[in-house]
Structure 1
Amino acid sequence: MIYFVQGADLVKTVGIIVEYNPLHNGHVLHYKKSKAIAQAERTVAVMSGNFLQRGEPALAGKRARTEMALSMGADLVIELPAAYAIQPAEWFAYGAVSLLHATGVVDSLCFGSESGTLRELTPLAALLSAEDSPFREELHRQMSLGHSYPAAYAAAAGAAQGSSPAEAAEITSLLGKPNNTLGLHYLMALRRLNSPIQAYTIPREAAQYHDLLPAGPTIASATSIRRIIREQGLEAAAPYMPRYTLDILRRETALGRGPVDWEAFKQPLFLLLQTLSTRGLSRMLEVSEGLEHRIKRLLPLLPQPSVEELISALKTKRYTRTKLQRMLLHILLQHSKEELSPERLAHGPGYIRVLGFSSRGQELLKAMKKSAALPVIMQASDLEHPQLELDVQASAAYAGAYPDPHTSWMYEDYLMPPLRL
């Protein structure tokens, strides 16, 4: 592990894992508290690219959101490859933590959680890291009862950890909250990597992840902010975001680069859904348990080619909206089960892609030349790698959905250097 020595003091660096869709006042609070609890002077943010963990396109592109992060004070922003960004919690967490570990300059990780404590999550991570056969058997049993994967995982974890029905119910409730589940998988990833990175968590305050309404005059969840922008316009969401976020979103909107939502992709998506055979669909990641047949059966019944109507028609108790959105994204981006198999994902990301940095971030990059366990790249042309090809394809698909796409936007991974702020 690399530390920066200034006199007799060690300069610490905290890692945060983010999407910033968009960056709002709650994120600023998390950033400040993360630095405080870790006693860190520098921050490395691992940020998803143009498509996100819950299977959604980002409201604004990754360069715009990188600019938001740097404006807030983050020193270095690196991209979580699409191979991991559009995944269930296990692989999303493993990819992000692997990148922080591979930098060699990050000594702590701080994440938000509903519980706000590691007391229950740490022993549970130790137990589930092995994922022995009884846990797997219980997971499969819960799935066979028709539960969604998140609900089945929470129930199986409760059964594995709880020595009494009450304790099992407590664990199941704990993992019924999305940020607790992500936090658990961050801790499990640290154990799998045998990483020296110290984990911290802080409680989510006021607004929770799924809240559709603001929690106060200045705090709202990203879900709520996107709803306000969609229904009332950008200016209506101004109280819940820093001024720089608002200015960046104004600029992106004026340039025709946002706000982006799922319906912007309906034409290429429905073309693929209609022209791929059921066998072709079945090869795509997260198309499971005969969903390819369900898709083909429902397509002719839709009154119009709407992504929202398709998801509503496909949704069941077993198939959550998040699962279906990720599935549709993998179809849109042509992500096959073979190329993103668990065996391949277990190798971790193959590079550290820099999206932006500050002057202090530049010092981190200099240190990473000696400490990083992976190639550090500034543009897509710096390296040939299968995961990087998926990132480039995702960027092209995202920019292609703009009302008036420019070629330079579609190939910005090759044409644009990292942002410096």
Structure 2
Amino acid sequence: MLTAGIITEYNPFHNGHRYQIEQTRSELDCSHIISVMSGNFLQRGLPAVCNKFMRAEMAVASGVDAVFELPVVYATASARDFAYAGVDLLNKLNTVDYLVFGAECDDLSLLESVAEILIDEPASFSACLKKNLAEGMSYPSARANAIKSCCPAGADLLKEPNNILAVEYLSALKKTHSSIKPYIIKRTSVGYNSEDITGLICSASAIRHLLQETCLAHISEPDALFKTFYQVLPTASADLLKTDYLHTYPIFEDHLTSILQYCLIMQNDVPDTVDMTEELYNKLKKTKLLQSYAAIAESLKSKDLTQTRINRTLLHFILDIRKNTMSMYKESGWNHYGHILALNRSGSDVIRQIKRNSDLPVFTKPADGIRFLSDTGRLLFEQDIKATRLYNTAVYAAYKTELPDDFTARLPVRS
């Protein structure tokens, strides 16, 4: 039995994701595919457009055998921590043979060369990075520029988001001495952030943009939107989105506005929030409170801080993800459980193998699984529970729909 793992967000699950799954099965001849997926909040520091159980169901309806949740503290972290946590979880399941990922570059040796630089940090790289940061560059730009000093061929590599994650996956595999082998499926169609919809495959960004534009236009019966769903999404994904439109989704950052405003009113001192600096907090406290979440985030942007970094910081602030607890989670072994969000009946063999081999408690029902967790594992899982409930409050405020939490949700199972 050959098993591939994919670390993903599926926001939402579209034809490009289905293509990756189909290629993984055909090129690797693997019998099973499992996914480690972000929950209700994402690596860009934003809420998912629809809830984690719906997105997980989309995946298992289109060929994934099981979807595990990446804990929210890692799902909303930097690319480095996001990738490391995903690889660590796959490692600890002791069942995965390949880590499959998409990238704009499919030159594995070049990507591995850049990964080695980031792991070893030779003197020329460190000096250039330090100089770039001192000159006010954002960290991603400073790092990409510093790569030139050690690997000219990789100079433009880190300008593409999937290449960045690919390098971080390779770094994580090496750092953890993983037996999992990397496998690249090159992205050949649209760009990660492209908002164009012209064929059967488009980016998730384009789908979210279309959703947002449709909502802003207050179109309650959007035939054109639904037609696009069935063009660029697998039928199961399109069916779920059509059924729940303006009922449980879409959710965007501005749906978190009142939560952010409340947190700002109640906070008196610089919080111990991951990614928060005293300078950024002071700037945040001076912003106009009565404006949207997106407007507050936009007002904080500067030359040395990317919008994504600011978005992550604000999200960590409202989710109460703290530096001291984040350090504790990492120091105690990163992942402490495997929470399954959805299953495909055809994957029963791989689930049995995972449960036999896993170094972690693996569960579908949190009420049963939580009693097997360590104290640190419970704290980590409580962050996921709190994140789900916060997301659900945003859904209720927007659509007056009560979504189930982690303890009451029905596990999506597809054939």
TM-score normalised by L of structure 1: 0.89
**2:286 pairs with 1:297:** yes
Equivalent residue of 2:156, what SS?
helix
What does residue 199 of structure 1 align with? 182
From 155, 164, 168, the counterpart of 1:172: 155
- How do residues 57-96 of structure 1 correspond to structure 2 at under 5 angstroms? 57-96=47-86
- How do residues 211-226 of structure 1 correspond to structure 2 at under 5 angstroms? 211-214=194-197, 216-226=198-208
**2:9 pairs with 1:26:** no
Which deviates more, 359-368 or 175-184?
359-368
8 Å Cα contact 2:329-2:380 kept in structure 1: no
1:406 to partner: Cα distance: 5.7
Equivalent residue of 1:15, what SS?
strand
Equivalent residue of 1:293, what SS?
helix
In structure 2, how many angstroms separate the alpha carbons of the residues matched to 1:133 and 1:79?
38
Percent sequence identity is 31
Equivalenced residues, count: 395
What does residue 172 of structure 2 align with? 189
**2:286 pairs with 1:269:** no
Which deviates more, 58-67 or 265-274?
265-274
What does residue 124 of structure 1 align with? 114
1:157 to partner: Cα distance: 2.8
Q: Deviations over 1:235-278 (max 9, x none)?
A: 25322212211111122225x21011111110011111232124
What does residue 343 of structure 2 align with? 357
8 Å Cα contact 1:24-1:242 kept in structure 2: yes
**2:20 pairs with 1:43:** no
Q: Deviations over 1:68-115 (max 9, x none)?
A: 001111111111010110011100000111111111111001100011
8 Å Cα contact 1:212-1:224 kept in structure 2: yes
**2:280 pairs with 1:287:** no
8 Å Cα contact 2:35-2:66 kept in structure 1: yes
- C-alpha change, 1:342 and 1:40, in structure 2 (3 Å) is same
Give the letter aligned to residue 352 of structure 1.
G
What does residue 390 of structure 2 align with? 397
Q: Deviations over 1:257-307 (max 9, x none)?
A: 101111111001111123212423xx111112610011112225xxx4201
1:142 to partner: Cα distance: 1.8
8 Å Cα contact 2:18-2:62 kept in structure 1: yes
Which deviates more, 31-40 or 315-324?
31-40
Equivalent residue of 1:45, what SS?
strand
What does residue 112 of structure 1 align with? 102
1:363 to partner: Cα distance: 1.4
What does residue 217 of structure 2 align with? none
1:171 to partner: Cα distance: 1.7
In structure 2, how many angstroms separate the alpha carbons of the residues matched to 1:132 and 1:352?
36
1:59 to partner: Cα distance: 0.7
Give the letter aligned to residue 245 of structure 1.
S
8 Å Cα contact 2:125-2:147 kept in structure 1: yes
What does residue 311 of structure 1 align with? 297
In structure 2, how many angstroms separate the alpha carbons of the residues matched to 1:265 and 1:257?
15
Give the letter aligned to residue 292 of structure 1.
Y
In structure 1, how many angstroms separate the alpha carbons of the residues matched to 2:355 and 2:40?
27
TM-score normalised by L of structure 2: 0.90
From 132, 140, 143, the counterpart of 2:133: 143
Q: Deviations over 1:101-143 (max 9, x none)?
A: 1111110011000112212011222332234565444333322
Give the letter aligned to residue 380 of structure 2.
Q
1:47 to partner: Cα distance: 0.6
CA RMSD of aligned residues (A): 1.9
8 Å Cα contact 2:248-2:401 kept in structure 1: no
What does residue 233 of structure 2 align with? 241
Equivalent residue of 2:323, what SS?
coil
8 Å Cα contact 2:61-2:344 kept in structure 1: no
Equivalent residue of 2:46, what SS?
coil
What does residue 6 of structure 1 align with? none
**2:352 pairs with 1:333:** no
1:12 to partner: Cα distance: 0.8
**2:245 pairs with 1:259:** no
Q: Deviations over 1:284-342 (max 9, x none)?
A: 11112610011112225xxx420121122111222111111111110110111111138
1:347 to partner: Cα distance: 2.1
Q: Deviations over 1:32-90 (max 9, x none)?
A: 11222322121011110000111110111010001100111111111101011001110
In structure 2, how many angstroms separate the alpha carbons of the residues matched to 1:388 and 1:55?
19
Unaligned runs of 5+ in 1: 1-10
Give the letter aligned to residue 236 of structure 2.
Y
Which deviates more, 135-144 or 38-47?
135-144
8 Å Cα contact 2:270-2:278 kept in structure 1: no
Unaligned runs of 5+ in 2: 215-221
Equivalent residue of 1:305, what SS?
coil
In structure 2, how many angstroms separate the alpha carbons of the residues matched to 1:396 and 1:209?
29
8 Å Cα contact 1:89-1:185 kept in structure 2: yes
What does residue 352 of structure 2 align with? 366
- C-alpha change, 1:347 and 1:155, in structure 2 (3 Å) is farther
In structure 2, how many angstroms separate the alpha carbons of the residues matched to 1:361 and 1:350?
23
8 Å Cα contact 2:49-2:249 kept in structure 1: yes
In structure 2, how many angstroms separate the alpha carbons of the residues matched to 1:223 and 1:152?
25
Which deviates more, 385-394 or 286-295?
286-295
